[in-house]
Amino acid sequence: MRLPQLLSLRRGKNLFLPAHGRGNALTMETRRLLRNKPGVWDLPDLPEVGGPTCNGGAIMKSQTEFAEVFGAKKCWYGVNGATGLLQSAVLAIAKPKQAILMPCNVHRSVLQACILGDITPLLFDLPFLEDRGHFCPPSFAWFQKVLEKLKNENISFSAVVLTNPTYQGYSEDLEPLIKEIHKFKMPVLVDEAHGTYFSSPLADLNLPKSALNAGADLVVHSLHKSALGLGQTAALWLQGDILDPIIVERSIALLQTSSPSALLMASCESALYELFSISGRRNLRNSIETARELVFQLRKEGVPLLETQDPLKLVLHTSSVGINGINADDWLINRRIIAELPEPGTLTFCLGFARHRGLRSLLKLTWDKIVSSNIERNSFPPFTRPPSPLIKTLNTSLLESFKADWEIVPLSHSVGRVSSDFISPYPPGIAILLPGEKLNNEFVSWMIDQRIFWPEQIPSKIKVVV
């Protein structure tokens, strides 16, 4: 089948991202634009339109206006997802050979930017939920332990990246962590790819605090993941006085296409507008309240949905009955129910902002069917966390090991070697092994064990530096 035909296929129940639910919740403005003569919106950076890093033009004006609405100093739209803007942000906060402190569940785009900029990642361990195999963001007490350890071991760094919320929706209040980091006048970049709508003014709904309100210097939003933007739309916000906007803008220009799509730029604006407009807020409130009620009812009916802080994510605890979430996903796809994030312990559905009529009975029925099916069962949980120290440092530079000559060896023969491989099951895009890591016995055994859960994603042979 040719791609255009494939894209117009009906898929059954869409419980995946983008959050506009295959157009069902797109903003009125975007719908109107798309109903125009096909392609009429496909404009280059004409003087009146401009681009995210142009002086003048409608895009710059729009970014400036929204920076003001969000209480930020600067805003830039992006057309390569949160990925592209995270990478620019990382290049803006550190120089070659400097180190950035970041959590071990950081999205791989941050690590890829470290390769590009010859920056050293200092990965700190996180609380791990063994019943489902998920990391959660650090509490203040946890983060203080990390800082203490860095101080005792005399390890220096120049910036911090935090991820909040996680893909599954776990979130912590980052304000005390950011305040602590600011005591050292260091910038904090927050990957809030999954939490754009936390910045909407709906205080009574008890949503997690947006990193913009928690005082982060740079915040990246994926507008297609957690607002109503089209695929690839994103926004980067700058606030405070630690970072120079010129340096951030230079880094954006470094990685950005010279022809950003005008349609995607318009979609960025429209998605942000929706977070603040009266009708947008009403719709958002509706989505959140409906989702909370759905979870409440499904739990009452015995469907094991785990608790996270993002009401629009439904995290089905498949491993609570010994079913791998990846197998459950295959089973559901065959029945035309398409989830977002299959993992060994869970299957996460994204409700997004579209309405889902009949979802409660569909999910209840499906869960009952899967439990009584002959789908493969295993004896898990518990899941074991990766055997990593509180702070993971690399043995050689990430860039040098990535570019080094390599050979392929069976995982079981890799002990004592330095990895040249970047292994990161996708989704969720969290790295298991980085270039520059020296492989020890304990870690290799853990990786071999993980192959039971991720047979397609963790290879039996890896690249090591020769």
Ligand X SMILES: Cc1ncc(COP(=O)(O)O)c(C=O)c1O
Among 429, 438, 446, 454, binds ligand X (CB under 6 A): 429
Q: Among the candidate windows 2-10, 78-86, 140-148, 291-299, which touches ligand X by CB under 6 A? A: 78-86
CB 47 within 8 A of CB 57: yes
Task: Tell whether residue 146 is a contact of ligand X (CB under 6 A).
Answer: no
- Strand (E) or helix (H) holding 129: strand 128-129
Smallest distance, Å, CB 81 to ligand X?
Answer: 2
Contact with ligand X (CB under 6 A) among 162, 234, 238, 312: 234
Stretch that binds ligand X, among 52-60, 65-73, 351-359, 424-432 (CB under 6 A): 424-432
Binds ligand X by CB under 6 A, chosen from 66, 76, 143, 167 = 167
Distances (CA, A) of 48 to 43, 53, 58, 60: 11, 14, 6, 10
Residues 94-123 that bind ligand X (CB under 6 A): 107, 109
Q: Which of 342, 307, 455, 445 is nearest to 384 (CA)?
A: 445
The reply to whether 90 sits near ligand X by the rule CB under 6 A is: no
Cis peptide before 427 (omega within 30 of 0): yes
Q: Per rule CB under 6 A, is residue 81 in the interface with ligand X? A: yes
The yes or no reply on residue 462 touching ligand X (CB under 6 A) is: no
Which pair of tokens denotes residue 251? Answer: 């880094």
Task: Give the nearer residue to ligand X in terms of CB position, either 191 or 437.
Answer: 191
- Which of these, 13, 30, 48, lies nearest to 223 by C-alpha position? 30
Does the footprint of ligand X cover residue 463 (CB under 6 A)? no
Q: Are strands 341-342 and 347-350 parallel, antiparallel or unpaired?
A: antiparallel
Q: Looking at 44-52, 75-83, 96-104, 294-302, which segment touches ligand X (CB under 6 A)? A: 75-83
User: Contacting ligand X (CB under 6 A), which of 60, 67, 82, 189?
Assistant: 82
Task: Tell me which stretch binds ligand X (CB under 6 A): 41-49, 96-104, 191-199, 239-247.
Answer: 191-199
Fill in the amino acid letter for 383: F
Cα-trace Rg, the chain = 22
User: Is residue 226 a contact residue for ligand X (CB under 6 A)?
Assistant: no
Name the closest residue to ligand X (Cβ).
Answer: 81
d(CA 133, CA 127): 10
The phi, psi pair for 159, rounded to 5°, reads -160, 170
Residue type present at position 165: P
Give the helix/strand (H/E) hosting 100: strand 99-103
**Interface contacts to ligand X, rule CB under 6 A:** 81-83, 107, 109, 163, 167, 191, 193-194, 222, 225, 234, 427-429
